[in-house]
């Protein structure tokens, strides 16, 4: 079992820490700008990942992304990790179901009750959050963030630095380009060019109290 240092100090980091501990790893501290996890030692941020290298065996990326800014922030951290050749660990929740022939890259997080079907490839630093369902023969690039309850049909391709919001659904065989933002609840039935954004119809307010 490894001594892991968590990169990120927000709410999503708590989910990553839980999975790390379920897998028997020791969480030694947090690299972050703003730490909301007072129970763990604050180890610093990007510069200290190198100077405190002896304090941990591997880094776990635990910075979430809810929009394009979040994806870009994750990309900056990933480039720092790669530039300094820092070791990372992939965490797969013991409550996830991942087919035996799935290829999982480095620095990946796979949350509780995720289902991943056969012959799928998960790129480096991909985040797949709780209860997402990923079909067979899916190809996911680097730094893709998949929110809870997303569904990807078979043979879907998602290029790097793309984000899919909660409950997005992608038809089988679709290709989604680099740096796309797929908004919550989107039904994607056509290929998306790089840097596209999709939004599904939001709910309309049907009734509101007259007194505000
Ligand atoms: C698509 C998304 C990234 C846009 O976020 P943003 O770039 O910050 O944009 P804004 O929230 O400023 O919204 C811009 C406009 O799009 C609308 N909009 C935003 N998201 C929408 C969605 N999912 N469906 C429909 N309309 C949406 C907003 O109402 C707003 O409309 P307006 O300009 O008429 O007021 C974001 O809404 C989203 O879906 N994020 C994913 C969240 C998620 O999955 N969280 C869980 C993480 S575990």
Q: What is the mean pLDDT of residues 81-92?
A: 98
Q: Which of 183, 186, 197, 201 to mutate to test the pocket of ligand 1 (most atoms within 8 A of CB)?
A: 183
What are the φ and ψ backbone dihedral angles of 128, each rounded to 5 degrees? -120, 110
> Each residue of 114-142: pLDDT tens digit?
999 999 999 999 999 999 999 999 999 99
Q: Is 139 in the pocket of ligand 1 (CB under 6 A)?
A: no
pLDDT surpassing 80 at residue 43: yes
| High-pLDDT (> 90) share of the chain, % | 95
Q: Is 187 in the pocket of ligand 1 (CB under 6 A)?
A: no
Q: What number of other Cβ atoms are within 10 A of residue 38's Cβ?
A: 9
What integer best gives the mean pLDDT of the chain?
Answer: 96
DSSP secondary structure string for all residues of 38-69: TTS-EEESHHHHHHTGGG-SEEEE----SSHH
Q: Is 198 in the pocket of ligand 1 (CB under 6 A)?
A: no
* pLDDT score for 7: 97
HSE-up of 141 (CA within 13 Å, CB side)?
Answer: 16
Reduced to 3 DSSP states, what percent helix, strand and coil does the chain have, rounded to the nearest 5? 15, 25, 55
pLDDT surpassing 80 at residue 26: yes
Which domains, from first to last, does the chain contain? 3-83 (3.40.50.20), 91-197 (2.160.10.10)
* pLDDT score for 35: 77
- Quickly state the pLDDT bin for 37 (edges 50, 70, 90): confident
How far apart, in whole angstroms, are the C-alpha atoms of residue 61 and residue 133?
Answer: 21
Q: What is the mean pLDDT of residues 36-57?
A: 94
CB 1 within 8 Å of CB 24: yes
Q: What is the mean pLDDT of residues 24-31?
A: 97
Measured in Å, residue 36 CA sits from the centre of ligand 1 at 25
> Each residue of 153-169: pLDDT tens digit?
999 999 999 999 999 99
Candidates 63, 65, 69, 68; CA nearest to 197 is 68
- Quickly state the pLDDT bin for 34 (edges 50, 70, 90): confident
CB 149 within 8 Å of CB 167: yes
């Amino acid at each position: 079992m490894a001594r892991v240092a968590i990169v990120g100090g927000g709410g999503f980091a708590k989910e990553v820490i839980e999975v790390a501990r379920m897998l028997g790893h020791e969480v030694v501290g947090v690299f972050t700008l703003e730490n909301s996890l007072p129970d763990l030692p604050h180890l610093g941020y990007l510069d200290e990942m190198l100077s405190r290298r002896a304090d941990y065996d591997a880094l776990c990326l635990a910075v979430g992304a809810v929009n394009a800014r979040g994806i870009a922030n994750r990309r900056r951290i990933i480039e720092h990790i790669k530039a300094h050749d820092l070791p990372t660990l992939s965490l797969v929740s013991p409550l996830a179901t991942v087919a035996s022939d799935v290829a999982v890259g480095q620095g990946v997080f796979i949350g509780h009750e995720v289902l991943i079907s056969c012959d799928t490839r998960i790129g480096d630093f991909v985040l797949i959050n709780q209860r997402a369902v990923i079909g067979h023969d899916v190809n996911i690039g680097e730094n893709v963030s998949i929110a809870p309850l997303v569904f990807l049909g078979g043979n879907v391709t998602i290029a790097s630095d793309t984000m899919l919001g909660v409950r997005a659904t992608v038809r089988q065989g679709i290709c989604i380009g680099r740096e796309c933002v797929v908004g919550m609840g989107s039904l994607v039935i056509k290929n998306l060019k790089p840097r596209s954004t999709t939004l599904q119809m939001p709910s309309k307010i049907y009734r509101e109290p007259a007194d505000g």
